[in-house]
Structure 1
Amino acid sequence: MDGHRERMAAGGEGAPRGGRLFTPGFRAIVASQAFSLLGMEILQFVLPLHLLNLTGSGTLYGAVVAVGFVPYTLLAPVGGVIADRTRKRGVMIALDALLAAMMAGYLALSGSPYLVGVTIAVLMAAFASQALYQPCVQSAMPHVVASDRLEQAVAVTNQLSMVTGIGGPVVGGLVFGFFGLAPIVAASAVCFAVSSVLTAMFVRVPYEPPARTAGLVATVRGDVADALGFLRSRPAMWSIIMAATLVNLFCSSFFNVGSPYIVTESLGLSNQLMGLLQAALALGGLVGGMAVAMRPGRFGIRSTPRLLMAATAGLVAVTAVLLLPVEPLATYVGLAVAYLATMACCMAFSIVATTYLQVESPGTLVGKVMALAMMLANFATPLGQIAYGAVFDLVDPWMVAAVAAIACGMVAARSGRAGIGER
């Protein structure tokens, strides 16, 4: 057994033995993450919405959100290098403190005639910070929980992300609607500040400075090349990353683009019902995460093909519901059920894939491997959204759903052929 296997068998480098899930280190990360994610969700929801209210331009709204997302994709590999070569705790503290300061600055400049540029700059900085922040959190997990609890730990953090993804827009929308911009921007700043303080006081992640014999650019290039070389030597890991990327391309993008179109355009229903359908997706994510957290023994890398086939079955159900000659509300109810079940399977797959990559990667490569996986998955999402947006204008929604189901089924079949489910 090599050194990496021995490290993982012992529960991770610096991780506690004995199989506890909520170790002090994990509790500290979860607490700080809760505030940081809530602040980020409020930021991403309120700032573009404020701009939309001022200008009335949907095109500008979409462009600002899209431009803000660019740094997240481009900086993900850099975030992986930083996570593996610096003190993760220090990076998390600094980034949350920076975001708190930026939100305070935004509030001071909210009356500026250059508000569009300021909003774009803040969103780009926020997404860039997440590209550096999340690999630190992901690569810290094997250090603070034992390896036999890592899958549950990933499930808990994913559920936390889903909860804040629901709570942030709800809280942000209510406060913004009733009290205006200042209180909700201040609340976002406070969330980041609290996260920074909690991390400084309670988060502890073991750290051994790696040797660096080259300049910064050469080091980043060399580290990313090392991660890619490692993945090429592990076909199963590479297959998992590609499966996650393709699921984002074919499945997640379908839900993101197809849901508003199907509900409001095809079925002619209200925006409120569209919001409830989004809630069904979020609830499905919570169900999938809870299933893994409560019954981790039933999941694992062997379950990947089955989970993807179950997601395919969900998309087939969506296709069938759209073909039924029933009233729009009946179609809507069927879609909500199918959406919830499909999202539960996708979330369970995401947790299994993330855990597998964390466990199988050497301690010096965890951050970079996770960052590369994030970069590819996030790059696939906007490509899928653009493609689906064009296709929905050309053919009936049931045909688009059928294509998504066929594509997802092909990903599941390829995962089975790659031997992932046999590991």
Structure 2
Amino acid sequence: MESGGRLEKAGTRLRLMLRALSSRNYRLFFAGQSVSLVGTWMQQVAMSWLVYRLTGSALLLGVVGFVSQIPTFFLAPVAGVLADRWRRRPLLLATQTLAMAQAAVLAVFVLTGTTPVWLIVALSALLGVVNAFDIPIRQSFVVELVEKKEDLGNAIALNSSMVNGARLIGPSIAGVLVATLGEGICFLINATSYLAVIIAIAAMRLKPVPRRPGRKHILHELREGFGYAFDFKPIRYILMLLGLVSLMGMPYVVLMPIFAREVLHGGAHTFGFLMASVGIGAFCSTLYLASRTSVIGLGRVIAVAACVFGFGIAGFALSSSLVLSPLFLALAGFGAMAQIASSNTILQTIVDDDKRGRVMSFFTMSFMGATPIGSLMAGVVANRIGAQNTLLIGGVACLLGGALFGRELRNLRPLIRPIYARLGIIPEVAAGMQTATDLTSPPEDP
């Protein structure tokens, strides 16, 4: 009896963690993306190793990371306007097809042994342009796929678990394949994997989305989106912290080959193992987030997660042990994913529907757009003071940013709480009237 009760309780908890999968369209999206993202992570690992094998240059690692992501900084806001204006499914089909073509071209050149560095840089820049449009459109598309809007937070957490499950599997496979067959096979597998998500998106049955009336000039809508996002302190502070962490902490990824070879004295297997350690920590983080039943309390999670990420990066920078380094990276992966997914969930919850695409484009700018600038800076600084000192500075900066955000939470709570009350996430106080005391002393922060 007791054993049966435990099994029933475990089953109930599992159903709670997977509740967004009850929506058919989201199941298709989840399945297709799960396959495609494994290939994406394989390509990322193979690309970094290919550049370092061909050049041995930390600076060029930074350059490739820069050109593959800097388009996001400039083009994501335009993509946000398009996501608010046009149907998102055809836009996603276009971006996924272009990304598949980029991987296929790269695979052909690498497999034939004719891969000049300038071509790698050019193809990385092309993928950066595609991703600049794909990511904000895909982020804002998720809300159309979930039938029960109260499951949106769970869907976002499952998205994160999907990304990090792929981050766990992809680098592990890539490390073996790069060491045995070379980088080209990873690019070929990635190109093929895009077929899964293209087929899944095409098979969805979506409700018609009414077109927004009174379209204005694209620049006017850009200004409107900026004003909406940055005039509201909770959105502004979330984006600022995310930008800081992406600028100062996330460049650890482009410096990873240096740590694998020079600090830990390993090879492609070591590189894949380190990347997989990040995935393990991030995957554990998404399991925690998926088990949550409410967005209430995620503000505190964001602050703590940024500090955990900073501590993990600083510890990894100081470590020269093949035992401790993966542990610090797992901690960093846990903190990074908790911050990113929690920020995404809060933004998707509080944003107005007609501005969702633009706000998610600013989220993409802060997350993906700041990273290339940090990657380029990290490559330059690492050439001067070393990769370990570079990451140590970044980790300390993330720790300080998380602490400052945590101190500011008391000022953000009164601004978010009325939105949560209007959405039914928390009950109205005294038949809809919220007193100053209620707003400044909530039971739990947003």
Instruction: Please report the TM-score for the alignment, with normalisation by the length of structure 1.
Output: 0.77
1:304 and 2:299 matched: yes
Q: Which amino acid aligns with 1:370?
A: M
1:203/1:52 CA distance change after superposition, 3 Å:
farther
CA shift at 1:79, angstroms?
A: 1.6
The CA distance in 2 between the partners of 1:117 and 1:157, in whole Å, is 34
2:348 to 330, 333, 358: 358
Range with bigger deviation, 83-92 or 34-43: 34-43
1:127/1:407 CA distance change after superposition, 3 Å:
same
The CA distance in 2 between the partners of 1:314 and 1:184, in whole Å, is 29
1:301/1:345 CA distance change after superposition, 3 Å:
farther
Q: Which amino acid aligns with 1:377?
A: F
2:282 paired residue number: 285
1:346 paired residue number: 336
Structure 1 gap segments, 5+ residues each: 1-18
2:162 paired residue number: 160
Range with bigger deviation, 189-198 or 412-421: 412-421
The CA deviation string for residues 274-293 of structure 1, in whole angstroms up to 9 with x for no partner, is 65444332211111110010
CA shift at 1:142, angstroms?
A: 1.9
The CA distance in 2 between the partners of 1:404 and 1:38, in whole Å, is 28
8 A Cα contact 1:29 1:203, kept in partner: no
The CA deviation string for residues 241-274 of structure 1, in whole angstroms up to 9 with x for no partner, is 2222223334444x54787777876x76645666
Q: What SS does structure 1 have at the residue aligned with 2:151?
A: helix
1:194 to 183, 196, 209: 196
Alignment of 1:312-323 (within 5 A): 312=307, 315=310
Alignment of 1:14-163 (within 5 A): 21-47=21-47, 49-50=49-50, 53=53, 59-109=59-109, 111=112, 115-145=116-146, 146-163=148-165
The CA distance in 2 between the partners of 1:319 and 1:98, in whole Å, is 37
1:105/1:338 CA distance change after superposition, 3 Å:
closer
CA shift at 1:154, angstroms?
A: 0.6
CA shift at 1:347, angstroms?
A: 1.9
Range with bigger deviation, 396-405 or 238-247: 396-405
CA shift at 1:357, angstroms?
A: 0.9
The CA distance in 2 between the partners of 1:290 and 1:90, in whole Å, is 31
Q: What SS does structure 2 have at the residue aligned with 1:230?
A: helix
1:373 and 2:363 matched: yes
The CA distance in 2 between the partners of 1:322 and 1:43, in whole Å, is 25
Q: What SS does structure 2 have at the residue aligned with 1:207?
A: coil
The CA distance in 2 between the partners of 1:137 and 1:321, in whole Å, is 32
8 A Cα contact 1:21 1:152, kept in partner: no
8 A Cα contact 1:311 1:343, kept in partner: no
2:437 paired residue number: none
Q: Which amino acid aligns with 1:143?
A: E
Instruction: Please report the TM-score for the alignment, with normalisation by the length of structure 2.
Output: 0.74
CA shift at 1:382, angstroms?
A: 4.0
Task: Give aligned-pair identity as a percent.
Answer: 21
Range with bigger deviation, 276-285 or 157-166: 276-285
8 A Cα contact 2:378 2:390, kept in partner: no
The CA distance in 2 between the partners of 1:138 and 1:47, in whole Å, is 25
Q: Which amino acid aligns with 2:42?
A: I
8 A Cα contact 1:44 1:123, kept in partner: no
The CA distance in 2 between the partners of 1:336 and 1:281, in whole Å, is 8
8 A Cα contact 1:102 1:122, kept in partner: yes
Q: Which amino acid aligns with 2:63?
A: A
1:318/1:25 CA distance change after superposition, 3 Å:
closer
The CA distance in 2 between the partners of 1:285 and 1:115, in whole Å, is 34
1:294/1:422 CA distance change after superposition, 3 Å:
closer
1:295 paired residue number: 292
The CA distance in 1 between the partners of 2:98 and 2:214, in whole Å, is 27
The count of corresponding residues between Structure 1 and Structure 2 is 392
Once superposed, what is the RMSD of the aligned Cα atoms? 3.7
Q: What SS does structure 1 have at the residue aligned with 2:203?
A: helix
Range with bigger deviation, 345-354 or 386-395: 386-395
The CA distance in 2 between the partners of 1:334 and 1:270, in whole Å, is 15
8 A Cα contact 1:147 1:359, kept in partner: no
CA shift at 1:45, angstroms?
A: 3.5
CA shift at 1:339, angstroms?
A: 4.4
The CA distance in 1 between the partners of 2:228 and 2:403, in whole Å, is 28
Structure 1 segments, 4+ long, off by >6 Å, are 257-265, 317-323, 394-399
Q: What SS does structure 1 have at the residue aligned with 2:354?
A: coil
8 A Cα contact 1:314 1:342, kept in partner: yes
The CA distance in 2 between the partners of 1:124 and 1:223, in whole Å, is 27
The CA distance in 2 between the partners of 1:131 and 1:227, in whole Å, is 17
The CA distance in 1 between the partners of 2:58 and 2:291, in whole Å, is 42
1:406 paired residue number: 400
Range with bigger deviation, 285-294 or 376-385: 376-385
Q: Which amino acid aligns with 2:97?
A: A
1:56/1:203 CA distance change after superposition, 3 Å:
farther
The CA distance in 2 between the partners of 1:117 and 1:261, in whole Å, is 21
1:209 and 2:221 matched: no
The CA deviation string for residues 205-249 of structure 1, in whole angstroms up to 9 with x for no partner, is 6422234655xxx32x12221211222443222222222222333
The CA distance in 1 between the partners of 2:42 and 2:257, in whole Å, is 21
1:233/1:70 CA distance change after superposition, 3 Å:
closer
1:176/1:343 CA distance change after superposition, 3 Å:
closer
Range with bigger deviation, 145-154 or 202-211: 202-211
The CA distance in 2 between the partners of 1:249 and 1:397, in whole Å, is 12
1:283/1:120 CA distance change after superposition, 3 Å:
same
The CA deviation string for residues 140-198 of structure 1, in whole angstroms up to 9 with x for no partner, is 22222222211111111111111222333333343344344664443222212332122
